[in-house]
A and B are shown apart, each in its own frame.
Chain A
């Protein structure tokens, strides 16, 4: 086996991280006291694959650690151990540690061995605890060894000599092994090439003739290899069947033939560990026939369903941890891309031929070609964008754990419901929306949901509910975080805002405007600052992050009934549909999603507030007017008289206003270019784009522009809307 294993490392890590996710979500779904064997099996399979992979690639510390978890899970799976919330918590913690070990190994960093050690002790504590009662009647002596730590693993150790003269291999293939294309006979033959072998066949598991299935395998083997070969050599042989069998490789020491040994010495800790793991498997496998009369129904379908379960989330969560690394793309998406490129090439050559000897009679052909080109480009663009789209479950998947941990810490009962996890979102959004969402969910947990007794007193169910909802609405992605907690306290926010100097006077702010105050810097209404939230940093950062993504955030709240935070994000970050407008000699782009309508203002619609703040009446609402040429300092506007120009009614952050511009030019898709690459952020804009003639036009950021205008003319915004 001289294959360079390093090339598979990346795959191993990706799969293992997926496995960890499966384990985590599985553990979170487990209820203390009830052992859902499918659930446990899925977790067990994930742990087992990680252990196997880690062993293959020589990450012994990972495989050793996973092994202990696996042992615990295995006992749970067989019903030999009760599923306690203590055990679940320890396992969850272990998943974290394992993730740490994996990340460290992947990055080539040092593993924090102290943490690993202490967690390992913790796991062993659980293992050593109560299960013995049930374990003993199921196991046959060897099974009981599982409950104790490594040195006691093989109780029948009679000698402590380190000299190995041979190996005892317990090879117990799963009954599905033949379907994986492996033949145990071939393995035994390969073993015999290493040296002299004695093979004992165990036919105990053979079913009655009427239950016999030609595709199932029912034999177990015990092979004694009388050759002092490296354990690795044996492992190599079993590499391919590792997942399809339970096995143990036990070294035979020179002094005492027949007795297994080797675990006593710390020097052989690593091989001992893996043999321990395998013998544990063997032990459980052997224990099955003793406990149950029909081994096939329990062991065969279970791994199959587990594998299916494991495969589903794995496919979904592909690349979750890849970060900037890789995305798994549906082949269909790539195929359609290739098709599109093909079409594009054909169109291009057609246009090329047309250009060779062009005369006016062929203008029509040219136009046809150009429109074809446009269509193909657009399709191509859409397909490329599709590749960047990932389901939002990548971001959502971390919340069950978060809610589980925090709610138990705070003594609250909370149920988390996630809706629309399959909604596809741009990869950049996935990466950037995580932290703001965590913050918002924590806020709901901490400030929103009440303590169980308060809830009961308020006549609400004891268990609070937090909903995470993602959906497509128009050209936007809408993410809502809803809770049925106490809602925002209007008066508390007001008094706090005045106390903190965020505002000077309550004036006649609407409820919505008051709720918006929590997005101001330096604001927190928690009575106590907890480690969950309440330091007053955050909501302003949340809003800034979301604005950076080109989105907006809104709050809805009903006192005593709950609150909702609604985040709107653009579907994609790279391209947007824009309306170009003209002010003076300058062209700007307004994102189409921000535009409500465009109107020509009549004199009777105009109103002044305090002689300065201009507003206009649109149906029953008074909206402030932003004069683009004033806010942006444009020279020579065509007109400064509102009634002569156009008002573009725009909406941002839940507010509407009229943008006074000279004229509308046209709608088109624009590619967003960053101004920050070479310069810095320009207030009121979200970036720039390059127009058809090569010149640059700025893209307006409506919420930001409103804030800018507010600084210019504060009065307008306080008294209106």
Chain B
């Protein structure tokens, strides 16, 4: 509650810098839908949201890597989150969106586009309760889940974008090198 109170005073003082606002209201999450599930990612990691556009396929890439697109001169890979989470593939429609997120890896920042069914909402951290996620076993992307949140009675799975992408570039990298030997 104290956070909310602080938010009220924050509004009154008409804070103009994002950082100050962030200090007051806490984290914000962009939520999106995959099938019937809600997911959320740290909104500061979102670079842009764009409609689905044709991609250039990458040969011999995992199925969830749909290909690469040109975003203002840089080449950005596009992942399908449904396929990444082993959900059934759904044809892309005009509502299908690509969220371009920035991930931080030891090798530097990387941009990645993720295909989701639709973008839903923005959640304010102080309005939701975040709990640790239970261990789902190895099958699911447990380690990419940073927590579970409840918002208006629905469960929102909060994702750690760095880990989400990590095992695609790094692990696969090692595998490939293993093959080469």
Q: Chain A residues in contact with chain B, CB under 8 A?
A: 521, 586, 631-634, 673-675, 677-680, 682-685, 688, 690, 694-698, 708, 711
Contacts and interface: CB of A to CB of B under 8 A. Distances in A.
Contact of B181 (A521, A632, A678, A680): A521
Q: Is the interface of A mostly helix, strand, loop or mixed?
A: loop
A685 B68 CA distance: 13
27 contacts: A586-B57, A631-B59, A632-B60, A633-B60, A675-B68, A675-B75, A677-B110, A678-B74, A678-B75, A678-B76, A678-B77, A678-B112, A679-B76, A679-B110, A682-B61, A684-B60, A688-B56, A688-B68, A688-B75, A690-B75, A695-B56, A695-B70, A696-B55, A696-B67, A696-B70, A696-B75, A711-B179
Contacts of A711: 179
A131 to B, nearest CB: 57
Interface stretch (B26-34, B150-158, B168-176): B168-176
Given A631-B59, A696-B56, A698-B58, A677 B169 contact: no
A623 B110 CA distance: 41
Nearest to A544: B180
B167 to A, nearest CB: 12
B111 A678 contact: yes
Nearest to B79: A679
B37 interface: no
Given A696-B70, A711-B179, A682 B58 contact: yes
Contact of A696 (B69, B110, B173): B69
Given A633-B60, A684-B59, A679 B77 contact: yes
B88 interface: no
Given A673-B75, A688-B68, A678 B110 contact: yes
Contacts of A688: 56, 68, 75
Contact of B173 (A632, A680, A697, A698): A680
B69 A682 contact: no
Contacts of A684: 59-60
Contacts of B111: 678
B18 interface: no
A633 B61 CA distance: 10
B174 to A, nearest CB: 11
B56 A632 contact: no
Contacts of A586: 56-57
B54 interface: yes
Given A678-B111, A679-B77, A680-B169, A697 B59 contact: no
B56 A698 contact: yes
Contacts of B181: 521
A105 to B, nearest CB: 30
Nearest to A635: B57
A696 B57 CA distance: 9
B73 interface: yes
B94 to A, nearest CB: 19
A690 B68 contact: no
Interface string B44-83: 0000000000111111110001011110011111000000
Contacts of B179: 711
B75 to A, nearest CB: 5
B73 A690 contact: yes
A685 B112 CA distance: 20
Contact of A694 (B58, B70, B74): B70
Interface residues on B, range: 20 to 34
A631 B111 CA distance: 28
A578 to B, nearest CB: 15
Contacts of B74: 673, 677-678
B76 A632 contact: no
A690 B70 contact: yes
A661 to B, nearest CB: 14
Shortest 4 CB-CB contacts between residues of A and residues of B: A632-B59, A696-B56, A679-B77, A678-B110
B53 to A, nearest CB: 9
B108 to A, nearest CB: 8
Contacts of A521: 181
A360 to B, nearest CB: 32
Contacts of B110: 677-679
Nearest to B179: A711
B54 A695 contact: yes
Interface in B134-181: 169, 172-173, 176, 179, 181
B163 to A, nearest CB: 16
Contacts of A694: 70
Given A521-B181, A683-B176, A698-B56, A674 B75 contact: yes
A400 B60 CA distance: 46
Contacts of B176: 683
A587 to B, nearest CB: 8
A617 B30 CA distance: 60
Residue in B54, B61, B70, B112 with the greatest tally of chain A CB atoms within 10 Å: B70
A388 B174 CA distance: 34
Given A678-B111, A679-B77, A680-B169, A696 B68 contact: yes
Contacts of A678: 74-77, 110-112
B68 A680 contact: no
Contacts of B61: 682
Contacts of B70: 690, 694-696
Contacts of A631: 59
Residue in A521, A683, A684, A694 with the greatest tally of chain B CB atoms within 10 Å: A683
Residue in A634, A674, A677, A685 with the greatest tally of chain B CB atoms within 10 Å: A677
Contacts of B169: 679-680
Contacts of B58: 679, 682, 698
A678 B78 CA distance: 10
Given A678-B74, A682-B60, A711-B179, 12 more contacts: A586-B56, A586-B57, A631-B59, A634-B59, A673-B73, A679-B58, A679-B65, A680-B169, A683-B60, A696-B68, A696-B70, A696-B75
Contacts of A696: 55-56, 67-70, 75
Contacts of B69: 696
A633 B63 CA distance: 12
A629 to B, nearest CB: 10
B56 A697 contact: yes
A684 B67 CA distance: 15
A590 to B, nearest CB: 14
A700 to B, nearest CB: 10
A637 B24 CA distance: 57
B59 A679 contact: no
Residue in A631, A633, A634, A680 with the greatest tally of chain B CB atoms within 10 Å: A680
A698 B60 CA distance: 13
Given A521-B181, A631-B59, A633-B60, A680 B75 contact: no
A680 B172 contact: yes
A675 B110 CA distance: 11
A305 to B, nearest CB: 51
A107 B112 CA distance: 36
Residue in B57, B76, B176, B181 with the greatest tally of chain A CB atoms within 10 Å: B57
Contacts of A633: 59-60
B73 to A, nearest CB: 7
A521 B180 CA distance: 10
Contacts of B75: 673-675, 677-679, 688, 690, 696
Interface in B91-118: 110-112
Contacts of A697: 56
Given A521-B181, A631-B59, A673-B75, A679 B68 contact: yes
Contacts of A695: 54, 56, 70
A711 B180 CA distance: 9
B179 to A, nearest CB: 7
A614 to B, nearest CB: 19
